[in-house]
Amino acid sequence: MTGFGFTYAGEETQALTDVVLSLPAGSMTAVVGPVGSGTSTLARALAGLLGTRGTSTGHVDAAGTAGLLGDDPEAQLSGMTSHVEDEVQLACRLRGIAGVESEERARTALARLGIDGLWARRLDTLSGGQRQLVALSRITALDPDLLILDQPSQSLDPDMRRCLASALRETCDRGRSVLITGHQIDELALCCHKVRFLDAGRLRPAHVAPGDSGVDTESDADADAFAGTRDELGRFAQLQGVWDTRPVDPPGPVIPTAPVSTETVLKVRDFGVDRAGTVVLKGVDFDLHPGELSTLTGANGAGKSTLLRGLIGLLDRSADCAGTVTASRLGEGTNLLDLPAHVRSAHLGWVGQDPGVQLSAATVRSELMRAAPLPRHRRRDRPEMIEQRRRIVDTALDEADLAAVCEEHPFDLDTPRRKDLVIASALVTGAEVLLLDEPTIGRDRTGMDRLSAIIDGFLARGGAVLATTHDHRWAQESSHRRFRLADGRVNLC
């Protein structure tokens, strides 16, 4: 890529400007930057997927084939298959590779990522991280010359990230090239030969990972400027607006930033989920207290999302939930599990991993105005009720820092902002508990600060938050209590 620039149709500002980037065979390169810096545009340009979406300058000299795992990997699942084995073989079959060779390629791709045990599983039973790896396996089964991964580790637990890093190194050993783009510094970025920063569409100088100086850089001066320890790289990344997800080592004790309360907002007792005869959760007990952020970690597929969806009542019909879940506002005599999901949502605000499925209005403001039905009222009181809702929405817009984009379409926002909009919807409903599923995914430093501000404001009013996460640094630095889910049970860390 030499002097490459790109401007989207209808935009005046260039998304990429005078980018010079080389990806030698056998190398692994990371390009990271804050949201809006152009990392996804760079990935699409190298994959040849920008097409007629705008105008370009410079050259992209691509030799061989390229495969792209986009920033929404679940959208890359074909929708044409129901089982892992068929999904991973699909790309090969469409290329005329069938029979024994297709199966061998698919099994090899799954094994390299450490998920060969998923071969016979249904796609709709997998976790978000597992589906992401299945989408990647379908691409790697074709063995492209250049593998481009946009935010590849955002839904993966630490073990899966290490397994993916090993698989990518093996890809480089076979003479292929790998490019990783994203908004966060993590274990994958640190295993690259070279890390570069993208700032408003312009590439900053290179950083050569310690011990990997054998890979050429654009200039020796650039390498000298940023050579150093991995901790120094992490600190520099945060100065560039990039979030460092690497956990603090060694883990320290939880240090609450708010007083621990003896009151209970939500009480969960003997909660269990049986899905089509398979026990996913059993004997789960925990309390959520006002003013506290509790985080839940665990391996991909452990059941973290199932736990949140089970509490709010959004599991499919094959799942049976048992136990007792009580909210302080309703009292001990009412089990939330006996209530329909729309009634539970007045007490539990659920924000899933894919905020798009929770949005339906044409503007941010109208999404919040429709977040919940108006309370029962007389017709003559309707103008007053609408005005009251408008004041509540204005407050939620301010708290979620969405006032400046209140007239934009929700799908014109980046994914973290869409997730903030769904959180704001829960604020409008007056829920006393927020259930956040992987809220830090895809966030840069600014996005993390915005998330912290929203949570802190909610906790200050006596709410409680339970968040699933693979970001152990955030869990350790921000939570008042840390839980871990393993073998179907929740334990306090």
- Residue pLDDT, tens place only, 225-269: 344 566 777 777 777 889 988 776 655 555 555 555 678 999 999
Structure-block tokens of residue 157: 């637990």
Nearest to 336 by CA among 463, 327, 372, 285: 327
Per-residue pLDDT for 213 more than 60?
A: no
Cross-sheet strand order for the sheet of 54-59:
16-19, 2-8, 54-59
Sign of CA dihedral 462, 431, 126, 448: negative
Helix axis angle, 99-112 relative to 128-140, nearest 10°? 130
Tally of residues, the chain = 493
pLDDT one-digit tens code per residue, 139-187: 999 999 999 999 998 889 888 998 999 999 999 999 999 999 999 988 8
Band (pLDDT 50/70/90 cuts) for residue 61 is confident
Stretch 281-300: mean pLDDT: 96
Identify whether 24 is preceded by a cis peptide bond (ω within 30 of 0). no
pLDDT bin (cut points 50, 70, 90) of residue 133 is very high
H/E element holding 475? helix 472-478
Choose between 301 and 246: higher pLDDT: 301
Residue identified by tokens 């292929």 is: 176
Domains of the chain (ranges, CATH numbers): 2-244 (3.40.50.300), 266-492 (3.40.50.300)
Region 401-411: what's the mean pLDDT? 97
Residues 452-456 have a mean pLDDT of 96
Question: What integer pLDDT is reported at residue 68 of this predicted model?
Answer: 93
**What gap in Å lies between CA 35 and CA 57, rounded to an integer?**
23
Mean pLDDT within 419-429: 95
Given a cut of 70, whether residue 52 has pLDDT beyond it is yes
**H/E element, 54:** strand 54-59
The residue to which tokens 């003896």 are assigned: 262
- Mean residue pLDDT across the chain: 89
454 torsion bin: left (phi>0), alpha (psi -120 to 50), beta (else):
alpha
66, containing H or E segment: strand 66-69
Q: pLDDT by residue (tens digit) across 221-234?
A: 333 334 456 677 77
The mean pLDDT value for 206-224 works out to 42
What's the pLDDT score for residue 260?
Answer: 59
pTM of the model: 0.89
Burial status of residue 411 (CB atoms within 10 A of its CB: 0-12, 13-18, 19 or more): exposed
Model confidence over 343-393: pLDDT tens digits? 999 999 999 998 989 999 999 999 999 998 888 889 999 999 999 999 999
The per-residue pLDDT for 114 is: 92
Say yes or no to pLDDT of 217 above 50.
Answer: no
What pLDDT, on a 0 to 100 scale, did the predictor assign at position 223?
A: 35
Residue 122's pLDDT is 93
59-78 as b/e, with b when 16 or more CB fall inside 10 Å? Answer: ebeeeeebbbbbbbbbebbe
Residues 401 and 364: their CA atoms lie apart, in Å, by 12
Beta strand extents in 357-480 (DSSP E only): 433-437, 464-468
pLDDT in tens, 7-18: 999 899 999 999
Q: What angle do CA 53, 56, 59 make, to 5 degrees?
A: 130
Supply the pLDDT for residue 403: 97
CA–CA distance, 140 with 115 (Å, rounded to integer): 13
pLDDT band at 207 (very low <50, low <70, confident <90, very high): low
Q: Which residues of 172-187 are buried (b: 16+ CB within 10 A; e: fewer)?
A: beeebbbbbbbbbbbb
User: For residue 10, with 0-12 CB atoms within 10 Å meaning exposed, 13-18 middle and 19 or more buried, which class applies?
Assistant: exposed
Per-residue pLDDT at 386: 94
Q: 49: alpha, beta or left, given left = phi > 0 and alpha = psi -120 to 50?
A: alpha
Percentage of the chain modeled with pLDDT above 90: 69
pLDDT above 70 coverage of the chain, percent: 91
Residues 6+ apart with CB under 8 A from 343: none
